[in-house]
Amino acid sequence: MDLQQKTRLTVILSLMGVLATVIVIRLVTFQIIEAEDWGDQNSHQYVQQSNPQRGEILDRNGNILASNGFDYQINVQIPQPLGENGAERLAGMSGELALILQDDGFDVSAFQIRDQLNVTRTNVLLPYRITHDQAIRVDALTERENQPYSGVYTTQLPRRIYPQDDLMCHVLGYTSFASRYSEYVGHNGLEERYNTELGGQSDSSRAHISPLISQETVIAVDGYDLELTIDRTVQHTVEQHLANSMSFYGAHSGTVIVMNPKTGAILAMANLPCYDPFEYYESAERQHPEAKKMPIFSNPSVSLPYEPGSVMKLVTMAIALDAGTVSPNSTYQDFGSLVIDGNYIYNASKGIYGTVAMRDVINWSLNTATATLALDTGPDTYYTYMQRFGFGQRTGVDLEHEAVGSLHQPGDELWTDVVLATNGFGQGLTVTPLQMISAVAAIANDGVLMRPYIVEKMMDGKRVVSDPEPFRQSQAVSVESAREVRQMAIYAVNHNIDKAYIPGYTVAGKTGTAQIPEEGGFYHPTDTIASFIGWLPADDPELIILYKLDRPTRSEWGSETAAPAFADLASQLVVLLDIPPDSVRLAQR
């Protein structure tokens, strides 16, 4: 190697040494001396870029019940300083905007708008959400001659929309407003129960300063769509019918549930009074008339327990038959009253019926007889069966805020033999309407208790993500016991509850006229909850209906209010659901 080559090598090595020294110094500085500062910067470099599309909620035929749209917000750019005639232009702009907002229902004046714009900021976002039509009017301000309002424009804000207005309000729930940078949040009903599935996943990226740390990216995933078991037309028919019945019978509120007893599929669920989920905030202060502490948003079908009254006699009879306490051929000697630990139990009619067959215990709805059946069955056996029927526990329906109800048992502070006796005819315990119809549906379904459900399938576009099968919860009683009670319920409709009769169809059912407990442990002296649960065709049921009217004033009796309301509604539903009369159905077998 000659001198020139040695010199060149020395220079290169020297430069490499200097460069290596600089790199080492920078690494020490970066990783040790400035580690905390860089860590802080790195941890904050997170960017959420956009939100996914929230899934739609559809009826069983694909009609949209909940979807996505936009509201608009007014932006005003204000030059600083205002310049020549700026104050006059701002005043004129305030008047124009006030007129537009007033037409959209806002109680606001030009002076208030002017005060909101009287700030030192150059860009003001007015705190009003306006419709698309009003946004067009606002944007049109900039198109005027000389463009006196060139600094006014609108921006879109996501908004959940409900094309069917207040239809199925308690089932759907609602979503709070979403800003441009945040997701919807579902409240109550399906919107809350399936909030994660409907909401999808936002796309995002996390950019780190250090190349040694992996860069994280999440691809946006739109929310799943829900297809329900409910038909929009059936639901509308049920809601309209309930509204008419409440008006005719003078009821404070009401609930109707229509279900397929073989599968647990809910075909309609209506509660009145209702609210508009699109403008839920207008109802924020309202309470349900039967539960002063329960917001109007809560679903009474699953969230409002009540004492069911005599519809429970079907369950008590099924338990007594299945446990062997009595047989269908047994009789009961009725004296009109029963004394338990000094407490008197009377028949609702105050009548004395003498020797009564088991079918007439249901037919005449005898409190004394069903109280005796519960006592003779014994608490351990009786409450074991009650749990098999789903009482004292949630049904597991896919709706939010389901209540448990109350079922006191031996060992509980409030339990006595009188509680067992009154439980036999539906007092001293509370159930939700969905618990009650599910239990009676088990009798209609040969003793099999099905879990009620309302979402038929979950979809990603046209791809089915989830398609759950109907779920069998228990064999509450034997097939034989269920069918024996069914015959008693058919007999009751044909011989006593004639207002529940539907020409051409065999109907089974039972009325309930329940007293309403008040504060202090007493019952209201006159007000009742009138109900009827019936199913048809009785031997091969395709639908079961719970009809409940709270505090009807035309009559206190379920047989005079809820039973005829049931018959009128069922007569319409057999047409909508294409359920043939017995003569046609049996001829096709």
Which CATH number belongs to the domain containing residue 145 in this structure? 3.90.1310
In this predicted model, which residue has the larger pLDDT, 117 or 454? 454
Domain contains 173: yes
Residue 180 contacts residue 155 (beta carbons within 8 Å): yes
pLDDT at residue 85 in the model: 62
Residue 25 maps to a domain: no
| Pairwise CA distance, residues 504 & 537, whole Å | 10
In angstroms, rounded to a whole number, what is the distance separating the alpha carbons of residues 256 and 561?
A: 13
Tokens of 159: 């908004």
| Residue 18 maps to a domain | no
Once rounded to an integer, what is the mean pLDDT over residues 561-568?
A: 98
Asked whether residue 465 carries a pLDDT value surpassing 50, the answer given is: yes
| Alpha-carbon span 186 to 194, nearest angstrom | 8
Q: What pLDDT does residue 55 have?
A: 94
Distance of CA 474 to the CA centre of its chain: 24
Of the pLDDT bands very low, low, confident and very high (cuts 50, 70, 90), residue 407 is: very high
Degrees to nearest 5, angle at CA 347 with 344 and 348: 115
Instruction: Please tell me the distance from the alpha carbon of residue 164 to that of residue 310, in angstroms, as a whole number.
Output: 36
| CATH code at position 281 | 3.40.710.10
Query: Span 548-573, mean pLDDT?
Result: 97
Residue 428 gets the label, from left (phi > 0), alpha (psi -120 to 50) or beta, of left
More confident residue, 426 or 184: 426
* pLDDT score, position 529: 97
> Which structural domain range is residue 580 located in?
232-587
Note whether 353 and 393 are same-domain residues: yes
Are both 481 and 357 inside the same structural domain? Answer: yes
Q: How many helices (H) and strands (E) does the chain have?
A: 19, 25
Is 195 in the same domain as 245? no
Find the mean pLDDT for residues 356-373. 97
**b/e code 551-572 from CB counts within 10 Å (16+ = b):** bbeebbbbbbbbbbbbbbbbee
How far is Cα 155 from Cα 158, in angstroms, rounded to an integer? 10
Among 175, 194, 227, give the residue marking a domain's end: 227
Under the banding of pLDDT at 50, 70 and 90, the label for residue 162 is: very high
Based on the fold, state whether residues 153 and 181 are members of the same structural domain: yes
The residue among 457 and 103 whose pLDDT is bigger is: 457
| Stretch 150-168: mean pLDDT | 88
Burial (Cβ within 10 Å: 0-12, 13-18, ≥19) of residue 272: buried
Q: Is residue 9 assigned to a domain?
A: no
pLDDT digits (tens, 9 = 90+) for 7-66: 666 766 677 776 767 676 766 665 666 656 555 555 445 444 566 889 999 999 999 999
Q: Is the peptide bond before 537 cis (omega within 30 degrees of 0)?
A: yes
Higher per-residue pLDDT: 404 or 105 = 404
43 located within any domain:
no
130 has a pLDDT exceeding 70: yes
Q: How far is CA 93 from CA 99, 111, 453, in A?
A: 10, 11, 54
- What is residue 43's predicted lDDT score, i.e. its pLDDT? 47
Residue written as tokens 């269908």? 328
Q: Which residue has the higher pLDDT, 587 or 3?
A: 587
Same domain, 236 and 223: no
404 and 544 belong to one structural domain: yes
Together in a domain, 220 and 245: no
With 80 as the cut, is the pLDDT of residue 469 above it? yes
Same domain, 237 and 276: yes
Residue 38 lies in a domain: no
With a cut of 60, say whether residue 145 has pLDDT above it.
no
Work out the angle at residue 277's Cα, subtended by the Cα atoms of residues 274 and 283, and round it to the nearest 5 degrees.
60
pLDDT of residue 103: 83
Residue 147 has pLDDT above 60, yes or no: no
Q: Are residues 216 and 249 in the same domain?
A: no
Does 243 lie in the same domain as 139? no
The region of weakest confidence among 129-143, 252-266, 540-554 is: 129-143
The answer on 416 and 327 residing in a single domain is: yes
Considering the domain architecture, whether residues 97 and 191 belong to the same structural domain is answered as yes
Number of separate domains in the chain: 2
Residues 244-263 have a mean pLDDT of 98
> Can you tell me the mean pLDDT for 332-351?
94
Q: Examine residue 314 and state whether it is found in any structural domain, yes or no.
A: yes
Rounded-to-10 torsion of CA 410, 411, 414, 420: 0
